[in-house]
Amino acid sequence: MPELPEVETIKNELLPWVRGQSFTQVTIFDPKIVFCASTEEFPRNLVAQRVENLERRGKYLIFDLASKKVLIMHLRMTGVLLLNPRTFDSYARAAFSFSNDIQIVFSDRRRLGAIWLAENADAVVGKLGPEPLSDDFTLDVLAQLLEKHHIPIKAALIDQNLIAGIGNMYADEILFAAKIHPLRKANALTPQEIQILHRCIREILWSAINSKGASVNTYIRPEGQLGTAQLAFKVAHQYGKLCPLCGTSIQRVLVRGRGSYFCPNCQPLP
């Protein structure tokens, strides 16, 4: 699933193309993708709307429209947004044409992606936790979030109602950088560990954004390039490989049904 760095990259690369432009044509190929209206109503309600801005909230893309409504997209597991593709592949679910003659195609192999046209963003993303890269995400905020939850720290990091945008692979990288085992209880971390965790959350996410996200599965950038954040992964998707710090074999454990990669030597479980 595209996580915060991937969605932030998509936002940054699409923003110069769509800001100030109006929708001229909207085609829905798969009605399952629309969560707010019928396949017939959705294009009619969106055509002629001008995009004022493009934002990200957690793993969601939010098109702010001049009408004060918002178009929201979630790529889920395998969704990608393609800018001016030469041809439509068999996974195309929706296409959006703009007044500057560009086109964005929402392609989704597993048909799990979703789009909404809503009166305000809170109708869709209102329950998300704080943004981990915002100035409001302070050390105290993180400490207060964790002290309320007797769940594994890995589960806490990927709970979107606690912290928005962190997914499975970056949670693994964050915990490795902080030297915290994924099964440690969130409310059992020491103040020093929380301080290190807070720093690692921001460092890992910013580093991945600077690398344009991680292309480990289906993620590609709007114009077809790959991200390179995966080249720096120490534990995520590295099962059986040797830890770059100590040489121990990277292990995998299930945390609330999600595969979690870690180094048992660098991230001991007390």
Ordered DSSP codes for 214-265 = B-SSS---TTSPPPBGGGG-SSTT-TTSBPTTT-PBPEEEEETTEEEEE-TT
Per-residue pLDDT 10s for the chain (270 aa) are 799 999 999 999 999 999 999 999 999 999 999 998 788 899 999 999 999 999 999 999 999 999 999 999 999 999 999 999 988 889 999 999 999 999 999 999 999 999 999 999 999 999 999 999 999 999 999 999 999 999 999 999 999 999 999 999 999 999 999 999 999 999 999 999 999 999 999 999 999 999 999 998 889 999 999 999 999 999 999 999 999 999 999 999 999 889 999 999 999 998
Distance CA 166, CA 205 (A): 8
Query: What pLDDT score was predicted for residue 54?
Result: 98
Paired tokens of 19: 């800001």
- What are the structural domain ranges in the chain? 4-125, 139-262
Residues with catalytic roles: 2-3, 59, 258
CATH code, residues 4-125: 3.20.190.10
Question: What is the CATH topology of the domain spanning 139-262?
Answer: Helicase, Ruva Protein; domain 3 (1.10.8)
Distance CA 49, CA 51 (A): 7
Dihedral (Cα; 9, 10, 12, 18), 10-degree rounding: 180
